[in-house]
Amino acid sequence: MTGITYKGKAVDERLPQPDWSEPVPDFKPFVPHDSTEREFTLKAVLAGIIRAAVFGAANAYLGMKAGQTVAATIPAAVIAIALFRLPFFRGGVLEQNLTRTAASVGEALVAGAIFTIPAFMMVNVGGQRLWTDLRSHFWTGTLILLAGGLLGVFFIIILRRPLCVESDLPFPESTASAEIVKAGQQSNTDAPKYIFGAMGLGALLQLLKDEKGFQVFQDSVSFFWNFPRSVVQYFGYQKELLGKVNYAGGVAFATPSASPALIGIGYIIGPRLAAINFSGGVIAWLVLIPLVLFIDPQLPQRVGTTTAGGTAPWDLVSYTVWYNVVRPIAVGAMLVGAAYTLYSMRESIWRSVKGAFQASETLGEGSAVRTRLDIDIPIKWIIVSIGGLVVPITIIYYYFARSWGAALVAAVVMTITGFFLSAVGGYLVGLVGSSNQPVSGLTLAALVIAALMMVIIGVKGLGGVAAVLGVASVVCCACCVSGSLIQDLKAGYLLGGTPWKMEVVEILSVIAVSFFLLLPIIALHEANLASGGIGGRELPAPQAGLMAQLAQGIVGGQMAWGLLIIGCLFGVSLVMIGAPSPMLIAVGMYLPLGTTFAIFVGGIIRWITDTLRDRRGFNDAQKARVDNAGVLTASGMIAGEALCGLLIAGLVGSNHDVTLFKWTPPFLLALGALAILAIVMIRVPLANCGRPEDPAPPTAIM
């Protein structure tokens, strides 16, 4: 430092310095490039990190329960507006932007965590499990999150300018977030009241339906409908009678879960995607499972050797068929769905790789930095940091595989695929937003490459499976964080945020949140051990199950290949008939019926709301206000249930019994809860359509 100042403020010479004599760039952000507005403040950083932990915890619950997470960029922007309006916390746009950037890390990093870390517990090779619990592997999991998250930050910083500045990518969620922030500065906004009010209702309903809380109504009710006994006569080629077989079986059915979070997801994704997801549940629970039970009437006796009377009840048989037969089929379909998703985006992916690297080359080392809006963390610091992270990651891989050769191969695969897939993922975020980034498909690509490399060098068994999952988990975290950061950097570019400050706060948030995120995951697992913990009925964690199945199948040599092949062929048939989103159908097969049914109910509520909105003759501005109020209300419902569920799980995990009374409430009370949710999610948006002459707001709908 030599004491250089600009407008009375010290300038750190270690950072690339702006050329203040250059003309103002053509693009003019919301906050001018020469603004002295406060930005990197302690309150902004701390508020962002705390909210990152909250968003991360909420999405941990949601992701393992429903296999989906909700992007935090727009809710984080809305909450930042409300927070910085408080008299004791007032702040400007740049502080709000910095807080939002830090806050969105939680949702991104936890997505990488729940898609991969639980897989270490699901692996079973020759009767041996890789991890038997999460608590004793806390530090290993934390280091994976830390390394993957930081690599995602460093990888995408290299590509910030070509993707955010030089490209013409639409960045839909970044644009919506920036517009919401702008609107929040110009006038009073009701957005925070939708989120916080819905959070309160969601938390209350979760408390009243959780059997570990103050249960007043049941979350869902399951029952079994027996088929009438049937006799099927089998004939040969010449129509000669070969024999007669008696059949029975039936259908295991579940009512929709009275879950604000699941219904909120259905509302946000809309009726079409909710129906596609539910179709997977129908195929699994109302077609495949009844078919297996029908053609194997002796199955209850064969699997009931440890049950009273030697015969398993039909509902238990249905569950075990779903868990051990249908879910591997769903894994095969998911694999095809992920591959097809990447194939359908092949042109975008190629443009991403080609455009990003070509733009990076044209910048050159001597490119002049014109304003503070062009300052990134220096590239040499980035390269050194990446190299420094690869070393401990390699040590972790050695700890898994007990082979330096396997560890080095895994580290090389992780580094190359991590950077390549982060670039691809960043470009796709620019096209469709982080909510639609195909993280599972990108991670599967890295997992398959790593698994094949382990097979080639002869590393098998639990060690090889662990190394493969280690590569997948780091790459998944990197892709999730890089996608989130590039979205925030674009929003910051539109608002006038300083890139290097946003990058630094992202690094701080990743470091802080990495040491926290496994705690809610552990609490949820231990609070649901009665239903199987992670991978069980309450926390199926479908993406992690997919990773575990593939890793142990390719490297460990153990997989129900017949079921996987059936699933792949089913996925291919979905592609051949042009079925919408084969991946979403497969995820629906992997989830409990009550879960997909609740998401479908949320989609129906959205359809009713949209239908009533259109019938009332609203203009475009009013329709946008209805859409915004509905999405923000649904987001609040999701956050409210997730946070209350985590609180109860934490109390149960610490041996605190919070049950007020134990009973089996009638299902009619659950219908009442569903009715309350439907009324709120229909009436609140429609009641906030505003006046026809009011200007159109920025939309939160992607």
Position 324 in a domain: yes
Degrees (nearest 5) of the Cα angle 444, 450, 455? 125
Rounded to an integer, the average pLDDT of 411-416 is 87
Other C-beta atoms closer than 10 Å to the C-beta of 620 total 9
In a domain, 161, yes or no: yes
Is pLDDT above 90 for 646?
no
Cβ-based neighbours of 505, under 8 Å, separated by 6 or more: 40, 44, 45, 48, 98, 101, 102
Tell me, what's the pLDDT at 150?
Answer: 93
Q: How much is the pLDDT for 659?
A: 59
Other beta carbons within 10 Å of 319? 19
Residues 432, 438, 443, 446: is their CA dihedral positive or negative?
negative
Question: What one-character DSSP code corresponds to residue 86?
Answer: S
pLDDT of residue 2: 39
Each residue's pLDDT tens digit, 51-72: 888 888 877 877 777 666 666 6
65-69, 289-293, 296-300, 353-357: which has the highest mean pLDDT? 289-293
Q: Residues 555, 455: contact at Cβ < 8 Å? A: yes
Domains contained in the chain, number: 1
Residue 17 in any domain: the answer is no
Of 2-11, 492-501, 688-697, the range with the lowest mean pLDDT is: 2-11
The amino acid present at 266, given as its one-letter code, is G
Examine the pLDDT at 540 and tell me if it is beyond 90.
Answer: no
pLDDT at 382 over 80: yes
Higher pLDDT, 199 or 646: 199
Report yes or no on 682 lying in a domain.
yes
What is the predicted pLDDT for the residue at 194?
A: 75
Taking residue 466's Cβ as centre, other Cβ atoms within 10 Å add up to 28
The rounded mean pLDDT for the chain is 79
- As given in the structure block, the two tokens for residue 56 are 């991360």
pLDDT at 387 over 70: yes
Is residue 597 included in any domain, yes or no? yes
> What's the confidence (pLDDT) of residue 697?
62
3-state DSSP assignment of residue 267: helix
Residues 6+ apart with CB under 8 A from 520: 56, 57, 60, 61, 646, 649, 650
In 3D space, the residue among 660, 675, 678, 694 whose CA is nearest the CA of residue 607 turns out to be 678
User: Does 314 reside within a domain?
Assistant: yes
Q: What is the pLDDT of residues 462-520, one digit of tens each?
A: 888 888 888 888 888 888 888 888 888 988 888 888 889 999 999 999 999 999 988 88
Beta strands 5-6 and 9-10 are: antiparallel
> pLDDT value at position 504?
93
Q: Between these two residues, 127 and 688, which has the higher pLDDT value?
A: 688
Is the four-CA dihedral 42, 111, 374, 37 of positive or negative sign? negative
pLDDT in tens, 101-140: 888 888 888 888 888 888 888 887 777 788 888 888 899 8
Model pLDDT for residues 310-326, shown as the tens digit of each residue: 788 888 888 888 878 88
| Cα-only R_g, the chain | 26
CA quadruple 395, 398, 400, 403: dihedral, nearest 10: 180
Res 97: pLDDT: 87
Token pair of 369, please?
Answer: 């930095």
State the pLDDT at residue 11: 42
Beta strands in 371-420 (DSSP E): none
Per-residue pLDDT band at 682 (split at 50, 70, 90) = very high
Tell me what pLDDT residue 399 has: 86
Query: In three state form, how does the secondary structure of 476-515 look?
Result: HHHHHHHHHHHHHHHHHHHHCCCHHHHHHHHHHHHHHHHC
Q: Given this model, what pLDDT does residue 20 score? A: 39
pLDDT at site 26: 61
pLDDT band at residue 142, thresholds of 50, 70 and 90?
very high
Residue type, 275: A
- Say what the pLDDT of residue 119 is: 87
So what's the pLDDT on residue 286? 93
Residue 419 CB contacts under 8 Å (≥ 6 apart), including other chains = 155
Question: Is the distance from CB of 410 to CB of 397 less than 8 angstroms?
Answer: yes
Six-digit token pair at 586?
Answer: 């497969």
Phi-psi region of 70 (alpha: psi -120 to 50; beta: other; left: phi over 0): beta
CA dihedral (451, 457, 458, 459) in degrees, to 10, reads: -50
Cα-based torsion angle of the residue sequence 43, 48, 53, 54 in order, rounded to the nearest 10 degrees: 100
Nearest to 663 by CA among 33, 275, 253, 218: 218
Assigned domain for 442 exists: yes
Instruction: For residue 573, name the pLDDT band (cuts at 50, 70, 90).
Output: very high
Q: Are 539 and 528 in contact (CB under 8 A)?
A: yes
Estimate the crossing angle of helix 260-282 against helix 191-209, to 10 degrees.
70
Which pLDDT tens digit goes with each residue over 576-625? 998 887 878 887 887 888 888 998 999 999 999 999 999 988 888 888 88
Confidence of residue 291 (pLDDT cuts 50, 70, 90): very high
Where in the sequence is the domain holding 101, given as residue range(s)? 41-555+589-702
Q: Is the dihedral of CA 352, 357, 362, 367 positive or negative?
A: positive
Q: Half-sphere exposure of residue 387, counting CA atoms within 13 Å on the CB side?
A: 6
Q: What is the pLDDT of residue 172?
A: 61
Kindly state the percentage of the chain with pLDDT values over 70. 80
Q: Please report which confidence band the pLDDT of residue 7 belongs to, taking 50, 70 and 90 as the band edges.
A: very low
Q: Evaluate whether residue 121 is within a structural domain.
A: yes
Q: Is 607 exposed, middle or buried (0-12, 13-18, 19+ CB in 10 A)?
A: middle
Nearest residue to 106 via CA among 173, 55, 154, 63: 55
Residue 25 has pLDDT above 50, yes or no: no
- Are the C-beta atoms of 467 and 450 separated by less than 8 Å? yes
